[in-house]
Chain A
Amino acid sequence: MSIIKTENLSKVYNPDTVPVHALNNVNISFEEGEFTAVRGPSGSGKTTLLNMIGGLDKPTEGSVTIDGVDISKLKDSKRIDFRLHNIGFVFQHYNLIPVFTARENVSFIMLLQKRGKKEIRERADALLDKVGLSKKKDSRPVQMSGGEQQRVAVARALASEPKFILADEPTANLDTESAMNLLDIMNRMNKEQNVTFIFSTHDQRVIDRARRVITMVDGAIHKDEEQHVAEQA
């Protein structure tokens, strides 16, 4: 069953001056439990596509439907609320709140969701355990490596129990070991808990682990292929 569906999705930047067609009539859908990489050269539209699916930007034309809701028609405040309850984000630059500890960073989104104190604490601790940071719960971002920060970001994205997680170049700033570690964690979450991950990436390490690879060129889907991924040890 598809949880995300785009129809004739187009995005034009600077339509009145020098129009840039970032997306051209993109029709694509994503199923629950996917582990998908969106690849393509710079300017191909992969980040724009993720921004549209994530409700961070509005299409010039077309629609994005998530679980039956056309988010492109939602008002800004409704879209923010929709993101809070339905979409998880992992950013290239981790984007943790520097004044918060790892536990507080993970808890914050649940506080926004107005969950109970006890549930928030238990869930934050459990998620940090899952991403291998049980000893860093009280550390601030500045006291953690890039890989550890990105793992906190993954735990934060999972904390809100989203329908899917969008990860924009999540390994771009990580060394190989950290990147592989992060991918293992995300892969495990995907398999064990059926969490849907959609990446935009240049990183071959990510592409190699994805079961579906979408290649974009000039704002359009160039290739959309399934691939067999060998089980990791």
Chain B
Amino acid sequence: MKTLVNISWRNIWRHPARSSVLIAAIVAGLWAGVVTVGLVNGLMLQRIDYLIESEVTHAQLHHPEFLAEGYSWLSIPDHDEIKNWLENDGRVKAFSFRTITDGMLQSPVKTSGVRIRGVDSESERRTTTFHENIVEGSYLDDDTPSAVIMGKTLADDHNMEIGNRIVLTFEDTNNELVSGSFNIVGIFQSASTTYDERNVFVRSNDLIRQLSDSPIYHEAGIMLENEELASAVVSELNSSFSGIEAQTWRQLSPELSMLVELGGVMVILITLIIMIALAFGILNTMLMALFERMRELGMLISIGMSRLRVFTMIMTEAVILTITGAAAGMLLAWITIRHFSTSGVNLEMFAEGAAQLGWDYIIYPVLTPMEFVAILAVVVVITLVASAYPAMKGVRINPLEASKSA
């Protein structure tokens, strides 16, 4: 085998330019492919993490009809008992009860339909990272009475700024229209401009006061110690309490689940495209090498080299050639991903479009060791498959080729 590896290695360098070009192509292709896979992964994970951490949380519970109907009287029953249950469950990291209603926002400029979210700033801070989206002013934890924070897009639309007042109008639990004046204390900017346009945040106590005679909550966001616990916790909540429906983030946000699947499909597609290009590169190079060496291979079979050894020699050449390029490409990709996983790839030029879609413009590429190994394994398999044809042709060479003129 040592001799075969030796002869294969030297055969590769018979045409240094040709082999170098192929190796360079493999390096560039794999580097680009692996980094792209890392970026796609990063993009997907960032979106999912952001949505879970800032909005959706690992699990939520509502009145079973609230999400479909949205009426303010469809509130969570027995919320004190549920709070108690959540406080005493070790798997629950934090939770926050929210009062939600749909209404109209009026400013001197115009009127907009919004979802009014009443939150307790303390528990909300513990549960989500939404407060990090504040770009002007403060969150809801100062003493300003009837405070409201609104999205930057909405504030710009209404020509509003910190210190201005707006009027929120909505139905109370008795179907009566109520209005309240709120002071703008903060402006937020999330990853999605659509979200920023349609949501305002007030203190839950301020909202409850106008909605109902007694405390009512429409949503509880629950962050767990880890995402894998979501299904079990949700299932226990649903069996322990009646009149509520607890759901995992996957159930609440099917588009997020689809995103995960889409990410997987994209990774497969990218890998497939690279591998097809790689396979043709190897096939072409090995066939050229084979046709150039018909007489030599004929001679080897003539003097007694078994066809199996000829096959192994050609396969070894292809594998060495590819592994050399693949190792360099993977190493380069690993260095690139490692570097950008902390500093991020800044795609500021696409920031506006990305924000419309709710994507971050700084992407932190991610590639798990498993994905790394899987790509390397696919490269090896593709190399073996692509070089099998030239190797089979080599095996079938007639030893009489050795006697032929060049």
Contact = CB atoms under 8 A, between A and B. Distances in A.
Given A97-B7, A99-B11, A56 B405 contact: no
B272 interface: no
Given A95-B296, A100-B10, A89 B306 contact: no
B400 interface: yes
Interface stretch (A1-9, A30-38, A63-71, A73-81): A73-81
Nearest to B403: A168
A93 B406 contact: yes
Interface string A153-168: 0001000100000001
A136 interface: no
A80 B304 contact: yes
B110 interface: no
Q: Name the prevailing secondary structure of the B interface residues.
A: helix
A56 B400 contact: yes
Nearest to A169: B403
Interface stretch (A108-116, A126-134, A186-194, A220-228): A108-116
A112 B305 contact: yes
A80 B7 contact: no
B302 A54 contact: yes
Contacts of A80: 301, 304-307
* Interface size of A as a range: 20 to 34
Interface string B6-25: 01001101100000000000
Interface string B304-324: 111101000000000000000
Contacts of B309: 112
Contact of A95 (B10, B11, B299, B400): B299
Nearest to B304: A84
Interface in A50-105: 51, 54, 56-57, 76-77, 80-81, 83-85, 88-89, 91-93, 95, 97-100
A156 B7 contact: no
A44 interface: no
Contacts of A113: 304
30 contacts: A54-B302, A77-B306, A80-B301, A80-B305, A83-B302, A83-B304, A84-B305, A89-B299, A89-B302, A91-B302, A91-B402, A91-B403, A93-B405, A95-B295, A95-B296, A95-B299, A95-B402, A97-B7, A97-B296, A98-B296, A99-B7, A99-B13, A99-B14, A100-B10, A109-B303, A112-B303, A112-B309, A113-B304, A156-B303, A168-B403
Interface of A: 47, 51, 54, 56-57, 76-77, 80-81, 83-85, 88-89, 91-93, 95, 97-100, 108-109, 111-113, 156, 160, 168
